[in-house]
């Protein structure tokens, strides 16, 4: 791989009443960003100019007709529609939300033609005027690839994946199965190795119920689905441990001992992540051929037009997308012509002892028997 080649970063402008252009202009106001990559903004020159003037930001962009015409050292802007769209900063509307997805549509068309390397999306909020399933699901559905993506929340210390999508809490338990946990943990494992270049990643699997079920007293999903899935993952050579009670896992700083965490549902993963991230998180969609990231900025629309949006998460989303693109290239290069194995590797079982917390022994359990399922003591 040519380390000097600038990565072509496609950027969608997000909700046209939102903070997308503010994030983009502030991010690429830093000269080193244009030395690092070649940005291609999928948006509207008229709307971009409106945001620039409304915010009083000094920003220059070069209008191009095709992504292949993108110039290095410039903030390139590719028009995706000519429609006159009313801009009302901070106001939710169906028109402004749909304009954000039209930019995604055009970007995906260009991705299929190989015109850029990675995709970074600006926010499109789901609100009372514009209902949709989120950009991650939208991109996954329109890529038409086999399998499904996995949302991974990333900051400097944590990588938290969600075993279920955005669901009402009452639907979470019925959506969890042994197979789904194995599939999601395997996707996370492969991403940690290929995208983050961790040779032997350790994954913590959280329980579904309080106290990870408390040996069946507070729910049976841990015994029926989660623990058997962890055992099968271990048999496949994937270092998965748990299930851990979510409260003590994050509260007692166990998260730092693992390379990835598989949470069972939205609030279980998002709440501690946002608390510990100080609004600097990134959303990465693992398991897709397209490298796609976004800034983790909840409820971003009310920030629009005030000039107060923090561009750091967006800048970090660009950094992460570039890092993953390069990591994949480094990982895939030797895999293209692997040498034959002359010996059989023996799996290292030492970590299994380290991360296994014994359950409370019952009368029928032989002394000295270790279990993978931890028990919180009170």
pLDDT on residue 339: 61
Domains of the chain: 1-145+288-333 (3.40.718.10), 155-282 (3.40.718.10)
Q: Which of 29, 100, 109, 113 is nearest to 312 (CA)?
A: 29
* pLDDT score recorded for residue 369: 37
What pLDDT does residue 133 have?
Answer: 74
- Write down the pLDDT at residue 210: 85
Pairwise CA distance, residues 228 & 180, whole Å: 12
Neighbours of 287 (CB within 10 A): 21
Mapped onto helix, strand or coil, the DSSP state of residue 279 is coil
Predicted confidence at residue 361, as pLDDT, reads 32
What is residue 58's predicted lDDT score, i.e. its pLDDT? 92
* Structure-block tokens of residue 344: 């059989």
**SS percent in the chain: helix, strand, coil, step 5:** 40, 15, 45
Identify the pLDDT of residue 342: 56
The per-residue pLDDT for 126 is 79
Looking at residue 341, its pLDDT comes to 57
Beta strands 202-206 and 62-63, pairing class: unpaired
Q: If you ran DSSP here, which 8-state letter would residue 72 be given?
A: T
Q: Return the half-sphere exposure (C-beta side, CA atoms, 13 A cut-off) of residue 130.
A: 23
pLDDT in tens, 223-265: 999 999 999 999 999 999 999 998 889 877 788 899 999 999 9
How confident is the model at residue 360, as a pLDDT? 36
Model pLDDT, residue 213? 75
Start-end of H helices in the chain: 20-27, 31-36, 45-55, 94-112, 135-143, 169-175, 178-194, 221, 227-235, 246-251, 266-277, 312-335, 350-355
CA 7 to chain centre: 19
3-state SS assignment for residue 55: helix
Predicted TM-score (pTM) of the model is 0.86
Q: Which of 141, 70, 148, 137 is nearest to 110 (CA)?
A: 70
What are the distances in angstroms from CA 190 to CA 67, 119, 199, 229, 287? 31, 20, 10, 17, 8
Q: What is the mean pLDDT of each run of 10 residues along the chain (378 residues)?
A: 79 97 97 96 97 95 97 97 92 94 97 97 84 83 82 93 86 91 97 97 94 80 93 97 91 87 92 80 95 92 94 96 97 74 53 48 36 42
């Amino acid at each position: 791989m040519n380390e000097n080649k600038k990565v072509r970063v496609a950027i969608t402008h997000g909700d046209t009443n939102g903070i997308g252009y503010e994030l983009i202009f502030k991010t690429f106001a830093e000269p080193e960003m244009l030395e690092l990559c070649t940005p291609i903004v999928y948006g509207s020159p008229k709307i971009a100019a409106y945001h620039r003037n409304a915010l009083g930001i000094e920003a220059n962009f070069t209008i191009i007709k095709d992504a292949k015409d993108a110039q290095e050292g410039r903030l390139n802007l590719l028009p995706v529609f000519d429609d006159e769209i009313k801009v009302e900063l901070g106001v939710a509307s169906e028109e402004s939300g749909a304009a954000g997805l039209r930019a995604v549509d055009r970007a995906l068309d260009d991705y299929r033609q190989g015109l850029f390397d990675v995709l970074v999306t600006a926010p499109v909020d789901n609100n009372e005027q514009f209902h949709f399933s989120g950009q991650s699901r939208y991109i996954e559905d329109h890529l038409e690839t086999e399998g499904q993506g996995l949302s991974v929340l990333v900051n400097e210390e944590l990588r938290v994946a969600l075993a279920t999508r955005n669901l009402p809490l009452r639907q979470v338990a019925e959506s969890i199965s042994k197979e789904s946990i194995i599939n999601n943990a395997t996707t996370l494992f492969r991403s940690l190795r290929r995208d983050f270049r961790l040779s032997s990643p350790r994954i913590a699997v959280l329980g579904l119920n309080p106290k990870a079920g408390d040996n069946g007293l507070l729910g049976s999903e841990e015994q029926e689905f989660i623990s058997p899935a962890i055992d099968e993952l271990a048999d496949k050579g994937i270092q998965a441990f748990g299930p851990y009670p979510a409260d003590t896992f994050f509260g007692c700083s166990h998260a730092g001992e693992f390379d990835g965490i598989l949470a069972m549902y939205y609030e279980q993963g998002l709440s501690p992540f946002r608390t510990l991230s100080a609004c600097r998180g990134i959303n990465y969609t693992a398991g897709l051929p397209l490298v796609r990231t976004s800034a983790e900025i909840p409820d971003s629309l009310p920030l629009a037009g005030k000039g107060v949006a923090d561009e750091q998460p967006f800048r970090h989303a660009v950094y992460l997308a570039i890092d993953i693109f390069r990591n994949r290239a480094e990982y895939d290069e030797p895999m293209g012509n692997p040498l034959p194995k002359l010996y059989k590797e023996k799996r290292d079982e030492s970590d299994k002892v380290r991360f296994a917390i014994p359950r409370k022994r019952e009368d029928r359990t032989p002394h000295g028997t270790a279990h993978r399922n931890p028990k919180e003591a009170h």
